[in-house]
Structures are given as structure tokens and as C-alpha cells.
Chains A and B, each alone.
Chain A
Amino acid sequence: KQEVTQIPAALSVPEGENLVLNCSFTDSAIYNLQWFRQDPGKGLTSLLLIQSSQREQTSGRLNASLDKSSGRSTLYIAASQPGDSATYLCAAHKKTGDYKLSFGAGTTVTVRA
């Protein structure tokens, strides 16, 4: 059974600081790993998707890395802004069978102006 863990559960940083969010998963047989953002009371917005054959993906100030052998993914957000305040979730997509997506509990980020 795939278990996804995100550390830390919460993070508060001053504006301009770089953010590092960690995600670990127990089963390396994944189809992809996806990072989402969720604002309070809202749905999930897809940020980055890394296929199992890839090592990283970048979009603007966001960069996500994937190391399947160690069961880890890291989301980096450069030069954080107050608008980056949200909960960030990672999800590992099972490679075969039911293709189940397992979520971590999320990291809640607060960027102080």
C-alpha cells in the first residue's frame, strides 16, 4: 500500500525566502508524481507533474525533483511571495492496476510580507 508523507506539516517564512517542501512515498512503482496547490475553501490546482521517467520539472519559480530510488520528491519555490501562501499537496500515481492516486497530508505555507 502506497503511503505518502509530507514534511513539514506547516511552514512560515518571510517574503523573498526560498521554500523547500518535501514529499516521500513508500512504493517506487509510480506512474507519475503530481504537486497541487489548494487555497482555503477552494479546489486543487495542479502545479507540476513529473513522469516516472523524469528527474525534474520546472514552471516559472517552481521546480520539482523526483528520486524514485529513494522515494522522494521535493518542490522548490524560489523568491516566495505572500501570494504563495496555501497548502501544497503531493500525490503519487500508482503505476498499474487501479492507478490509484495517493495523497500526502499537505504542507501549509505562510509567506509573511
Chain B
Amino acid sequence: DTAVSQTPKYLVTQMGNDKSIKCEQNLGHDTMYWYKQDSKKFLKIMFSYNNKELIINETVPNRFSPKSPDKAHLNLHINSLELGDSAVYFCASSQVQIRDTGELFFGEGSRLTVL
């Protein structure tokens, strides 16, 4: 069973389009994240949700809108796509409580290419 799964794995689209990436975790974790990995391979956090509540919102254009319908899902919707949005987007989850390790589990990534 895949612990953190993202779809789609690859996404090629034109500038100006709107697209979504979905993420689901079956680990029972309370916290989920979206990370962006740019062409230089640097991982930068975008958003984090804890029990469906937004707790981290880094300096991300408001064209990016996360949505957490329940604590097992965190989707990422991107409006008006730009060339600079081309990257690999990773979803992750963890359980950060006193008795938990806080270990982060990552999905396989969604490679977005904007033409």
C-alpha cells in the first residue's frame, strides 16, 4: 500500500491554464505538506495543513490554492499557470505529537511542465 500518493505523476499544460494535483495519505497523520522542488533541486515548503487547518503559508503567489477536504487529503490547485511554475511538486505527511517521531513521508512527486 502506498503511504502518500499523488496524482497525476506528470502534467504538461499550456500557460494560462488551471490545473490541480491531488494528494492522499493512508497513514492516519494529522499534518500534510506541499513542497516545490525547482530545477536546482532545492526543496521549499509551500503549505502545511494540520487537521484541515492551514498552519504554514509561505510566500506563494495566490494563484496557488491548497484545499484539505479532510485530514487524509491535501490538494493543490494552480490558476493561470506560468512558465516559472514548472517544477516537481511533492506532497508529504507527518504526525507531530509528543509521542510521535514526526517522521516525514513523501509522495513520488508530480512533475509539472508549463509550455
Asked if A31 and B108 sit within 8 Å, CB to CB, the answer is no
- Verify B107–A101 contact, CB threshold 8 A: no
A39 to B75 Cα, complex, angstroms: 25
A102 to B104, CA, bound (A): 12
* Contact B43 A103, beta carbon cutoff 8 Å: yes
Is the contact region of chain B dominated by helix, strand, or loop, or is it mixed? strand
Interface residues of B in 27-66 (CB under 8 A from A): 31, 33, 35, 40-45, 48, 50, 55-56
Pair B90/A46 contact, Cβ less than 8 Å: no
Q: List residues 73-108 of chain A with CB under 8 A from any CB of chain B.
A: 87, 89, 91, 93, 98-103, 105-106
Complex Cα distance A51/B43, Å? 22
Query: Are B42 and A91 interface neighbours, CB within 8 A?
Result: no
Q: Which residues of A contact B55 (CB under 8 A)?
A: 98-99
B101 surroundings in chain A (CB, below 8 A)? 32, 49, 51
Q: Which of B43, B94, B96, B102 contacts A89 (CB 8 A)?
A: B43
Mark A residues whose CB is within 8 Å of B: 31-32, 34, 36, 38, 42-46, 49, 51, 87, 89, 91, 93, 98-103, 105-106
